Amino acid sequence: DAGVIQSPRHEVTEMGQEVTLRCKPISGHDYLFWYRQTMMRGLELLIYFNNNVPIDDSGMPEDRFSAKMPNASFSTLKIQPSEPRDSAVYFCASRARRTGELFFGEGSRLTVL
Amino acid sequence: AQKVTQAQTEISVVEKEDVTLDCVYETRDTTYYLFWYKQPPSGELVFLIRRNSFDEQNEISGRYSWNFQKSTSSFNFTITASQVVDSAVYFCALSERETSGSRLTFGEGTQLTVNP
């Protein structure tokens, strides 16, 4: 299996621009999670989906952030407009149905200038 | 609310030393799951172990071992005969109620440096 695939791996953009991060979970996994990692706040859960339905988005910082999962094999996290404080590594993870293990992608490092 | 505390921010050891990473958790649930993840310098998060609250047996996997003690709400991780490749940030995490979707709460992480 290819694992959780995230793109882009690195993104540098200017304040005010729209940013879209993409994730392809492991086939057959029923949960998908978006996490953000910063030095100040560590690893924070932003939102998670079960069978493509958003279950808990209480971790989404503000309305500038939105996430979608149109099908079982694809999810996006969008920031519009982006701000320098959004600079972080964004991880996508999917959960194994049987074992409950959470598998992470390699992360998308976002820098907003 | 659930909370995970990793009091050791950084640990530095010399190769072949044993090292223990501490993890203390707080939860009101009787059913919960504990995890350890490794984050090497390359940045990815690597799953190491998952333990449920009803299984207090200690586990050993090669040079890795885990000591789960409900009485002290601790889930410590020991690396025996450490190697330079063990250098990474290690995260302990807690999930309440597995059926709710494995919403993991992470500790702050412990940066382990193994020097040759």
Task: Write out pLDDT tens, residues B44-100.
Answer: 899 999 888 888 888 888 999 999 999 999 999 999 999 999 999 999 999 876 544
Interface test with A, best of B2, B103, B110 (most A CBs within 10 A): B103
The set of residues, in sequence order, having a beta carbon less than 8 Å from that of A96 and lying 6+ positions away, is A26, A29, A102, A103
A108-112, B27-31, B83-87, B111-115: range with lowest mean pLDDT: B27-31
Cα A56 to Cα A38: distance, rounded to the nearest angstrom: 21
Interface test with A, best of B32, B102, B108 (most A CBs within 10 A): B102
Looking at residue B97, its pLDDT comes to 65
| CA end-to-end span of chain A | 36
Tokens of A53: 């339905």
Q: Looking at the predicted structure, is the pLDDT value of residue A98 above 80?
A: no
- Within an 8 Å CB–CB cutoff, is residue B49 touching chain A? no
Cα B65 to Cα B109: distance, rounded to the nearest angstrom: 18
Residue carrying structure tokens 């992360």: A107
Compute the average pLDDT of residues A42-54. 92
Average pLDDT, chain A: 93
A5-9, B19-23, B104-108: range with lowest mean pLDDT: B104-108
**Omega of the bond leading into A8 within 30 degrees of 0 (cis):** yes
**Omega of the bond leading into A61 within 30 degrees of 0 (cis):** no
Cα A40 to Cα B37: distance, rounded to the nearest angstrom: 19
Q: Which residue has the higher pLDDT, B104 or A9?
A: A9
Looking at residue B102, its pLDDT comes to 58
A9-13, A109-113, B33-37: range with lowest mean pLDDT: B33-37
Chain B CB contacts of A104 below 8 Å: 37, 44-47
Say yes or no for a CB contact (<8 Å) between B101 and A31: yes
Q: Which pLDDT band holds residue B2 (cuts at 50, 70, 90)?
A: confident
Q: pLDDT of B22-46, one tens digit each?
A: 999 999 888 888 999 999 998 889 9
Say yes or no for a CB contact (<8 Å) between A106 and B43: yes
Q: Which residue has the higher pLDDT, A96 or B13?
A: B13
CA distance A54 to chain B (A): 11
Q: Residue B33: closest CA among chain A residues belongs to which residue?
A: A100
